Amino acid sequence: MRLAHAICQAATLPDPIPSGDCAVLIQLDFGNAGFAERLDEFRLLAASAGTTVAAVVSGKRSRPDAATYAGKGKVVEIAEAVRLHNANVVIFNHELSPGQQRNLERELQCRVVDRTSLILDIFAQRARSHDGKLQVELAQLQHLATRLVRGWTHLERQKGGIGLRGPGEKQLETDRRLLGKRVALLKNKLKQFERQRAVRRRARTRSEVLAVSLVGYTNAGKSTLFNALTKAGAYAADKLFATLDTTSRRLFIEGAGQIVISDTVGFIRDLPHELVAAFHATLEETAQADLLLHVVDSASPDRDQQMAAVDAVLKSIGASDVPQIIVWNKIDASAAAAGVTLDEHGKIARVRVSAKTGAGLDLLRDALAGMAREKANT
């Protein structure tokens, strides 16, 4: 993680997943549906973090083991895979407790990373704007706060740390105090950005311009659709969390005038709560929108679960009541035809498009024009 300045100028936290590392992936089956789809997503997450996947270890359990999550026998199997492939990191597609992570590292003699840390690391690589970097760092520090007892030894070199440690203060207390100061500083800075966003939102409200936010599961094609509509040239790639920083553009719609459309961070199932909290100000843009375009990868066999995960995040940020149009994207890969589906009130509920080929985008523009006219008449 990019936290060289997070605690003090002289201390640098080690990256949990240095680029190019050789990893063994662990996913256990507890009887939940969609195991294969979750494993495919896990592989893509690991690749997005820059790791080389050497092996995947899986197995069935009724419940997690309290000490090592995977159980003694499975830990032996994991250790053998680490030795065989000379791997230097083990990544779990599950959330580990600090104790489980510590026990696993002791048994495996290599770095162990859980799902939350993996996602945080990807976010750290993708953040580009100043406030985006601050939000990611805040999420990282809040997650690390639960793991101080496990790995924070970087300040021990201070040997008392003149001007750093209070009288009689233990190392762990010092780390927590420094961490708390940095977290407070980041929160204050992010509040300033939040106030700036509030000013911009009030200006849009006064101008009565329709505010549209693209939301959806990561890698559903939001940025590709954003570029196709606005010609903005925003970064788009076939990887998870290609976009972190919100980008907004004005878009002229024939027969309706100007609207503002925003490309936002993609969601994922089991999104770390530290990220939801840290990105609250950014996600609030979504909650304040007039319309959400919920972009769905129609070619994904896991699309129903992905839509449910997005709706769960929208509910958690107070955006579940914002009107939605489902954008059934990637019809070029699912062999569906461009078209629209109406709800019971005769309003457009779903538009089938291909952001890649442009099929159906005229229908989506017509839907946006209708919403813009409706807002202008209210």
Please give the annotated binding residues for Mg(2+), written as ranges: 223, 243
Binding residues: 216-223, 241-245, 263-266, 329-332, 354-356
Annotated binding-site positions for GTP: 216-223, 241-245, 263-266, 329-332, 354-356
Instruction: Pick the closest to residue 143 from 90, 95, 190, 89 (CA basis).
Output: 95
pLDDT in tens, 321-331: 999 999 999 99
Domains of the chain (ranges; CATH) run 22-121 (3.40.50.11060), 126-187 (no CATH), 208-376 (3.40.50.300)
The beta strand positions in the chain, using DSSP E, are: 22-29, 52-60, 89-92, 111-113, 210-216, 247-253, 257-263, 291-297, 324-329, 339-342, 348-352
Of 294, 298, 304, 303, the closest CA to residue 326 belongs to: 294
The position carrying tokens 């985008």 is 361
> What's the pLDDT at 203?
61
Is the model's pTM score more than 0.85? no
Residue 247 has pLDDT above 70, yes or no: yes
Mean pLDDT of 12-36: 77
Check pLDDT > 80 for residue 156: no
327 vs 378, residue with greater confidence: 327
User: Among 11-25, 64-78, 197-211, where is mean pLDDT lowest?
Assistant: 11-25
Rounded CA separation 125/242 (Å): 10
Check residue 71 and give its pLDDT. 96
| Sole residue written with tokens 């709706």 | 311
> Residue 157 above 80 pLDDT?
no
Q: What is the mean pLDDT of the chain?
A: 82
Question: What is the spatial distance between Cα 370 and Cα 53, in angstroms, rounded to a whole number?
Answer: 48
Share of the chain above pLDDT 90, in %: 44
Are 57 and 81 a contacting pair, CB within 8 Å?
yes
Is the Cβ–Cβ distance between 220 and 41 less than 8 Å? no
Q: What is the pLDDT of residues 158-203, one digit of tens each?
A: 444 444 444 455 666 767 777 888 888 888 888 887 777 767 666 6
Whether residue 219 contacts residue 239, with contact meaning beta carbons closer than 8 Å, is answered with: yes
Residue range 290-324, pLDDT digits in tens: 999 999 999 998 999 999 999 998 998 889 999 99
DSSP assignment of 273-341, as one string? HHHHHHTHHHHHHHHT-SEEEEEEETT-TTHHHHHHHHHHHHHHTT-TTS-EEEEEE-HHHHTPPPEEE
Q: What are phi and psi of 240, to 5 degrees?
A: -75, 140
pLDDT at 81: 97
CA–CA distances in Å: residue 340 to residues 221, 298, 349, 363, 370: 18, 14, 8, 7, 14
Q: Quick check: 36 pLDDT over 60?
A: yes
